[in-house]
Amino acid sequence: MEADNRQFDGKLFLKDVNRKLNDRLAEIQKDLNQGLKEIENMHEYYWENYTEMDQYGYEDYDNQQALLQQVNANRDKSKLMKRLEKMIDSPFFGRVDFLFEAEEEEEPFYIGIGNFGERAGMTPLIYDWRAPVSSLFYDFDKGEAFYEAPSGVIKGEVVSKWQYKIRGGKMIYGFESDVKIDDEILKHELGNNGDVKLKNIVRTIQKEQNAIIRNTKDKILVIQGAAGSGKTSIALHRIAYLLYHDRKNLKSSNILILSPNSVFADYISHILPELGEENIKEMSFDLFAYKELQDTAADCEDRYDQLERMMKFDDRRAQERFEWKQSAGFVGEAEGFFAVLEDELMEFREVEFRGMRFSEEEIIHLFYDKFYQIPLLKRMDAVMEYFIDSYETLKGRNIEEEDREFLQRKFDKMYVTKDIYAIYNKLLAVCGQEQMAELPYERRKIQYEDVFPMLYVKYRLTGKNEHKNIKHLVIDEMQDYSYLQYLILKELFDCKMTILGDRAQTLGKEQQDVLKFLPKVFGKNIRTVILNKSYRNTREIADYAGKIANVKDIEFLDRHGKDVAERKFKTDEEMFEAVRANLKLEKEEKTDHTDDVVNEEVYETAAVIAMTEEEASDIYRLLENRGISAFYVDRDTSVFHKGLTVTTYYLAKGLEFDQVFVVKSKKENPFEKQALYISATRALHELYVYEE
């Protein structure tokens, strides 16, 4: 009876809070309208009176300041209005009845996507999921409990805990839960049809996930998680929590995500706005490297170019070269090279300018002694500036820009070369490696195996621009970054980091466990969390994928579905007809030769996943010719659509689909095992593995 009363309390509270939300929205709308009227009046006043405003502009300045204040106030009210409009759909999703220590009556705390109180400064009716008290909902069952408040640890007892689903402002269900987050809720929320975007998980955050999200102490937090463990969602929710927790020092503009590609960036772009935060910057590290090397070469390959070439030729020596150039061994060889480069690269001579003279010995002294800490290719600039300062002091006048350019050329000639491309080639020769072709700038295209080694050489010889504005870096797909890339990232970003990935999804022949070398790069002060429970795939799909990659010790949500369908076809026509027959994006009459099941569901998303770019492009064209509508995703795609997607396995990483049709290569693929595992783990409900 008591539980029934509490459920009734939840319905009454929803009715009351909906009324108060609507009242507050009406007030804000009224204030906004008034604010717009004020802005209109200020504009009218200005244009009617600007010719008569005082000569010093004080009145004009005051008018502009008042206008700016009103515009900012309207902007803040608009943001609040949008947040409250979202809350009307689902004001809260949980409740904890907490009995404070030494109190006699428990207090209910309703938990939602954001705080809501009738007035600013009043006790919230609904608490933000990131508020300290909300951790009770995620971390404790009934019984003794505590949470960390700004004033200290608050102890007490969880008397009851409730979970709700509200849509359109109406309660769909509400029940008391004796476990963290009921498994049936998890199955429903995480195992339903694939959305066009990544799901936010505030309603289903698990205790171990909550510990990661609320971690504010560790500078480097590494999340090693199985496919479907929610690691990307957790990382984004962690960012939302950190922004909430440290408003004074951390803003959205202080955070950067290194994402694998643009379509994945679009797939996750809605999460932070849904959680009440502004979106944050994202970039591909490959694209960043390309921009940094634009003054060295006209073009650079990316990782996908390298993968495609390896799948096409399976060149063992090329793979060995690639691995060595990303390793600690290469870094050691490069440092030895830099030690002798100072002498080999320099041809010192005296400099004379309008009666001012520096001898060769003086320049050598400045170069090797006074400015020895400056990077090699920037050091002569410091010598030149010293020369110019001496001249201007002696002559009592400044050097003109034209003369400065003349001196710049004179000092630059003391380098045998300043071309990073040529210097890197010398390093390759010293290391006994095949050199790149000697080409003019406009014909240079740097192969991917050389991109980051050359960037490392550039930074060591010219210095790097530290991104001090970035206070938190998120690195996704950590297993696809090399030792050398992490070394570069450490130099560029001296900030807190969240690093996440899954070694089983390495793009390459073998799995890479970066946990073996990350402590060598960042030091031992790294916090590592292992997430070994997967929520995405059905047991049938998970078991199939696990056998491919020999993945063990993974827990799965006990959600069952259709068996994985493996088929070989004699012709392309048969295979594409099977795709058409089994595609469940819309209800249609099936042909006789289908793999479909009875009472099948209509899905939102599906994918045909090929091994190579060429195969994906051919499949897309052939599907379209047969009247099967699809979206083709390549490395330049920036939007993720619902419906049928055709893409490669490496661009599908991080995405999920209701149905997945994997098309194996006709020829041998050296990355087939990894590609099949990545492709299989994209499927929520149904997996088809086709081979011609």
Known binding positions? 225-232
Distance CA(537)–CA(543), nearest Å, equals 9
Contact between 548 and 241 (Cβ < 8 Å)? no
Are the C-beta atoms of 442 and 246 separated by less than 8 Å?
Answer: no
Closest CA to 497 of 521, 463, 530: 521
478's tokens? 């950590």
Residue 539 near residue 562, CB atoms below 8 Å: no
Question: Exposed (0-12), middle (13-18) or buried (19+): which is 96, by Cβ within 10 Å?
Answer: buried
Distance CA 115, CA 129 (A): 8
Binding residues for ATP, by number, are 225-232
Are the C-beta atoms of 628 and 576 separated by less than 8 Å? yes
From the list 210, 332, 195, 321, the residue with the least C-alpha distance to 270 is: 195
For tokens 């096409």, name the residue. Answer: 312
Strand (E) or helix (H) holding 545: helix 539-549
DSSP string, 59-114: HHHHHHHHHHHHHHHHHHHHHHHHHHHHHHH-S-SEEEEEEETT-SS-EEEEEESS
User: 683 forms bridges with which residues in the sheet?
Assistant: 657
Distance CA 194, CA 191 (A): 8
CB 221 within 8 A of CB 498: yes
Q: Is 178 exposed, middle or buried (0-12, 13-18, 19+ CB in 10 A)?
A: exposed
Q: In what order do the strands lie in the sheet with 605-610?
A: 565-568, 683-691, 657-663, 605-610, 643-648, 631-632
Using alpha carbons, select from 541, 584, 553, 551 the residue that is nearest to residue 681.
541
Handedness of CA 44, 48, 52, 56 (dihedral sign): positive
**What DSSP designation does 666 have?**
S
Angle between helices 401-412 and 376-395 (to 10 degrees): 140
User: Exposed, middle or buried, 407 (CB in 10 Å: 0-12/13-18/19+)?
Assistant: middle
How far from 332 is each of 168, 329, 373, 524, CA to CA, in Å? 61, 5, 20, 21
Element (H, E) at 29: helix 2-49
Distance, in Å, from the CA atom of 93 to the CA atom of 111, rounded to the nearest integer, reads 6
For residue 542, give both structure tokens.
């998970």
3-state DSSP assignment of residue 10: helix
Q: Tell me the β-bridge partners of 340.
A: none
Contacts with 653 (C-beta within 8 Å, 6 or more apart), sequence order: 260, 264, 477, 505, 507, 678
HEC assignment per residue over 421-486: HHHHHHHHHHCCCCCCCCCCHHHCEECHHHHHHHHHHHHHHHCCCCCCCCCEEEECCHHHCCHHHH
Position 220: which residue type?
Answer: I
Q: What is the CA radius of gyration of the chain?
A: 31
